[in-house]
Homo-oligomer: A and B are copies of this chain.
Amino acid sequence: MDFKVLAYDKQTKARCGEIQIAGRTISTPVFMPVGTQGTVKTITPEYLGRTGTKVILCNAYHLCLRPGEGLIKQIGGLHKFIGWDGAIITDSGGYQVFSLAGLIKTTDEGVEFQSPIDGSKLFLTPQKMTRIQNDIGADIIMAFDECVPYPCEREMASVAVKRTLNWAEQCKGSHKNERQALFGIVQGSVFKELRIECAQRLVEMDFDGYAIGGLSVGEGAHPMNEALDYTVDYLPQDRPRYLMGVGFPSDILDAVERGVDMFDCVVPTRNGRNGCAFTGNGKVKILNSQYREDIRPIDETCGCYTCSNFSRAYLRHLFLAHEILGLTLMSLHNIWYYQNMMQRVRESIVRGEFKAFKKDFLLGMVE
């Protein structure tokens, strides 16, 4: 993997760059739609590609439970399995183990839990999750971390940071697929010294990139931005920085301003499936009766397939009639919206005018 910063914003820490990996080029800051189980929900890879999406996030935890990393490897790797020729990053599943699985027992060695699919007992270790991700074959893989809930006692957060660092070292030691980049994950909840310690120790281990995990878990925008303010300063300029699971458009702009390069979030697809579309003039909740006879597209300035072909009235009809096409069309629009926003983010950074762009963009959102 190669990462170059191509431009710095004049007034903020925002930067615009390029990740080269496995013959693919990804312009940063980048938004990565979420395809947890090997599909960005309701959307074909072809339509996804047309939104400008260059990289998606899949989840090694979900994929090792089903269909199993062995099957994916045997079939020729995740890209081939899911029919996606863009880049892929897999999360190691630290977050999912803690938020989704039952009966967890965490030790310094790893995590024991029950499969939510068949109830069988599983034991995941840093070595095993690295091997699993090697087999799955994404372009970028993540270290196995311990993600604490919010709020969290300092002592508990501190133990989790130590374990995360220990596990990060083990992941690096057992990483066997040199075509894959490996990112470390900074934990530490909202405790400044823990975050800084974690960042510094990870940087000493020399990862291909650095993720910031355990944020956007309920702490709110202010503590998150504060954590980014001090954490990013301890991460090297020449490696990509990835804020995991974030977020709403305003969260992403806040984080770009603080020097973050990569984002993933279920919001565009989940909100789309719930009938909520993003536009330059605020949200369109498609079931609202005001759209009953509205012949306009969701967003008249949008070039997506949905806005090029369908009215709000039709989308509303699809949702009322419980027709799946509605979920597809709304998700597609929202991903386009996010990718269009990121394109404009990158252009504004190149012009050195990110701050002005952000202000304008946020004004439009609440109009």
Which residues does A use to contact B, with CB under 8 Å?
A: 37-39, 41-47, 66-67, 71, 74-76, 81-83, 292-293, 295, 305, 309-311, 313-314, 316-318, 320-321, 323-325, 327-329
Cα(A359)–Cα(B26), bound, Å: 53
Cα(A38)–Cα(B83), bound, Å: 29
Tell me which residues across on chain B come within 8 A of A310, comparing CB atoms. Answer: 83
Q: Please give me the residue from chain B that is nearest to A43 by CB atom.
A: B325
Q: Among the listed B39, B41, B71, which residue makes an inter-chain contact with A313, where contact means beta carbons less than 8 Å apart?
A: B71
Q: Are A321 and B66 in contact (CB under 8 A)?
A: yes
Cα(A346)–Cα(B323), bound, Å: 33
Q: Are B320 and A67 in contact (CB under 8 A)?
A: yes
* Contacts known (A75-B295, A310-B83, A311-B81); A67 close to B324, Cβ less than 8 A: no
Q: Please give me the residue from chain B that is nearest to A325 by CB atom.
A: B39
Q: Are A44 and B328 in contact (CB under 8 A)?
A: yes
* Contacts known (A67-B313, A67-B317, A81-B311); A75 close to B324, Cβ less than 8 A: no
Q: Are A46 and B305 in contact (CB under 8 A)?
A: yes
Tell me which residues across on chain B come within 8 A of A83, comparing CB atoms. Answer: 309-310, 314
Give 26 A-B contacts (CB < 8 Å), ordered by A residue: A37-B323, A39-B323, A39-B325, A42-B324, A43-B325, A44-B325, A45-B309, A46-B305, A66-B317, A66-B320, A67-B316, A67-B317, A67-B320, A75-B293, A75-B295, A75-B313, A76-B295, A81-B313, A81-B314, A81-B317, A82-B314, A83-B309, A83-B310, A324-B327, A324-B328, A328-B328
Q: Please give me the residue from chain B that is nearest to A273 by CB atom.
A: B324
Distance (Å) between the CB of A52 and the closest chain B CB? 18
- Per assembly, the copies of the chain total 2
Distance (Å) between the CB of A47 and the closest chain B CB? 8
Q: Please give me the residue from chain B that is nearest to A67 by CB atom.
A: B317
Q: Are A41 and B295 in contact (CB under 8 A)?
A: no
Q: Please give me the residue from chain B that is nearest to A74 by CB atom.
A: B293
Cα(A231)–Cα(B293), bound, Å: 44
Q: Are B75 and A37 in contact (CB under 8 A)?
A: no
Cα(A42)–Cα(B47), bound, Å: 14
Cα(A26)–Cα(B318), bound, Å: 27
* Contacts known (A293-B71, A321-B66); A44 close to B305, Cβ less than 8 A: yes
Most chain B CB within a 10 A radius of its CB, from A43, A44, A81: A44
Cα(A324)–Cα(B43), bound, Å: 8
Cα(A318)–Cα(B311), bound, Å: 30
Cα(A295)–Cα(B67), bound, Å: 13
> Which 5 A-B pairs have CB atoms at the shortest separation, nearest pair first?
A83-B309, A37-B321, A67-B317, A39-B325, A42-B324
Tell me which residues across on chain B come within 8 A of A293, comparing CB atoms. Answer: 71, 74-75
Cα(A41)–Cα(B310), bound, Å: 16
Tell me which residues across on chain B come within 8 A of A329, comparing CB atoms. Answer: 44
Tell me which residues across on chain B come within 8 A of A321, comparing CB atoms. Answer: 37-39, 66
* Contacts known (A71-B313, A293-B74); A323 close to B82, Cβ less than 8 A: no
